[in-house]
Structure 1
Amino acid sequence: MDIDLLGALAVREHGVSITPTAPKPRQVLALLALNADRVVPAATVIEELWGAAPPRKARSILQNYVLQLRELIGAALAQARDTVPRSAKDVLVTVPGGYLLRAGEGRSDVREFERLADAGRRALDAGDPTRAVRRLSEALALWTGRALADVRTGPHLHPQVARLEESRLCVLEQRIDVTLRLGRHRELLAELTALVSRYPTHESLCGQFMLALHRSGRRGEALSAYQRLRTTLVRDLGLEPSAALASVQRSILVSGPSRPAADDLSLTPHRPREAHAATGR
């Protein structure tokens, strides 16, 4: 089974889509796929679908959604040429108290993202920044949009989607940081311009944007970026910029208008202080 979650939901068995079009069956499949090969209690699925006020016949409705998914799985299996025949119930398994989706040895974009991100970090630890940028970029390229962009998210899917988005943002920051270390600041300017617009209170991205601008000889724009972020933080959150970002601003102020060397400035990695920074919501 191949599972794509980093964008629109797409689940395929032997290359055949088993993704339903109706919203709630999609939501069920998304929850099972995100927790593939792990038991998801029926109570968890019901809470995901209806929150704290499920309908009286919630379990019967859920069983009907599972039946619809099994019909799609069965149609896909009918086209397969497995040496060991399987039924839809072997793939979407009913266990005491819940359900389990068997993904087997198929591809999962979430697993691939995590594998490539780990490979990038190991390359960086090994002193190979070029390889680190390559692997981190490959991890980010798996994303085609917001995780589960076309699926309604309830109280269980929503935090898992937020976790994925936060992981993506962490990898993005790491890739930009390593690219800056390699002196490739000019090629980051367009991307960072879009990112600071999307995340207007995200301090790490703003700091990276300031460094890229200053190292490209655009000192005034770097200082203006700091002032914009400070105004937004004070107005929206009642906060001043962090000490790390203020240090970057001071370094730019004292460095003069000339372009600094690649290692003249640094931004200590830190997390954004607002809860919604990672998801853009």
Structure 2
Amino acid sequence: MRYEILRPLRVVDGSSITSLGARKIEVLLAALLVRADQVVSSEDLVKEIWGTRAPRQAIATLQVYVSQLRKFLRRPGRPDSPIVTERSGYVLRLGTDELDFHIFQDLVRQGRAAQRAGRTQEACEAYEEGLGLRRGPVLEDLRDGAIVNGFVCWAEQAWLECVEAFVDAGLELGRHREFVSFLYARIEELPLHEAFYRQLMLALHRSGCRADALSVYQSARTVLGQELGLEPSAALKRLHQAVLVDAPELEAA
């Protein structure tokens, strides 16, 4: 069985794909998955589900939700529930089950190790596979509490770092032309993320589109100035100057 949280929450068991219809129970499952194999206190789960508006019988209601979640996760031939009651709360034991963000972390680690060892193609493939695990907004509509919201912030940052590493590896392999449209799309999504402007300028320059590369710098300067009142970073300015003089060090190895 595989739990997927790098998207709207769902559970995959072979060819069967299921999701919960009750939002509060979804929040409960999401919180337990984010803290998989760790005890989450009943108090923290109450805050995650209800925030500051917990009902008087919140602990009793939480117990009912846990019971319903255990029924949802029950599978033939599997007598034990993955949700275990502990003294202070509950823990979801993964056992042999998979969690997609653990798989993502493993792929990023493999990619970094391969890149450090000079196996750039292998690194690129690992990053690309990791990025493919995200399909839609991470835990959409379940972000009200500290546990899930904290995870979403981490997941978004980890995804950005993986995208940057993937593009860097691809550019190192000479795949600059195919990354141009990819990077334009990323800038459309995240217009304040400077790294994508840098990578797009480099991809365009290596594709023989120096004027377009310089135009990207001006776009970055305009957006950063209007939205944040900032100038481009020193790294982006250096790249702009290098493109202006057609510096040989910008060429792909």
Distance of aligned partners of 1:186 and 1:18 in 2 relative to their CA distance in 1, 3 Å threshold: closer
Distance of aligned partners of 1:16 and 1:93 in 2 relative to their CA distance in 1, 3 Å threshold: farther
Q: Give TM-score, length-normalised by structure 2.
A: 0.92
Q: Does the 8 Å CA contact 1:19/1:29 hold for their aligned counterparts?
A: no
Aligned to 1:5: 5
Alignment root-mean-square deviation, CA? 2.0
Hey, what's the Cα distance between the residues in 2 that align with 1:100 and 1:15? Answer: 26
Of the three residues 89, 94, 106, the one matched with 2:85 is 94
Shift of 1:11: 2.4
Aligned to 1:279: none
Report SS of the residue matched to 1:137. helix
Q: Does the 8 Å CA contact 1:233/1:239 hold for their aligned counterparts?
A: yes
Aligned to 2:146: 155
Hey, what's the Cα distance between the residues in 1 that align with 2:129 and 2:22? Answer: 32
Is 1:35 equivalent to 2:31 in the alignment? no
Hey, what's the Cα distance between the residues in 2 that align with 1:209 and 1:184? Answer: 12
Aligned to 1:69: 69
Shift of 1:39: 0.6
Shift of 1:15: 6.8
Q: How many residues align?
A: 252
Shift of 1:17: 5.7
* Identical-residue share of aligned pairs (%): 39
Name structure 1 gaps, 5 residues minimum.
264-281
Hey, what's the Cα distance between the residues in 1 that align with 2:15 and 2:244? Answer: 57
Counting only pairs closer than 5 Å after superposition, residues 1-281 of structure 1 correspond to structure 2 as 1-12=1-12, 19-73=19-73, 76-77=74-75, 80-82=76-78, 85-86=79-80, 88=81, 91-255=82-246, 261-262=251-252
Report SS of the residue matched to 2:130. helix
Structure 1 counterpart of 2:56, one-letter code: R
C-alpha distance after superposition, 1:151-206 (max 9, x if no partner): 34422211111101111110110010111111110010111110011111111111
Q: Give TM-score, length-normalised by structure 1.
A: 0.84
Distance of aligned partners of 1:18 and 1:183 in 2 relative to their CA distance in 1, 3 Å threshold: closer
C-alpha distance after superposition, 1:116-161 (max 9, x if no partner): 1111111111111111111111111111122213534422211111
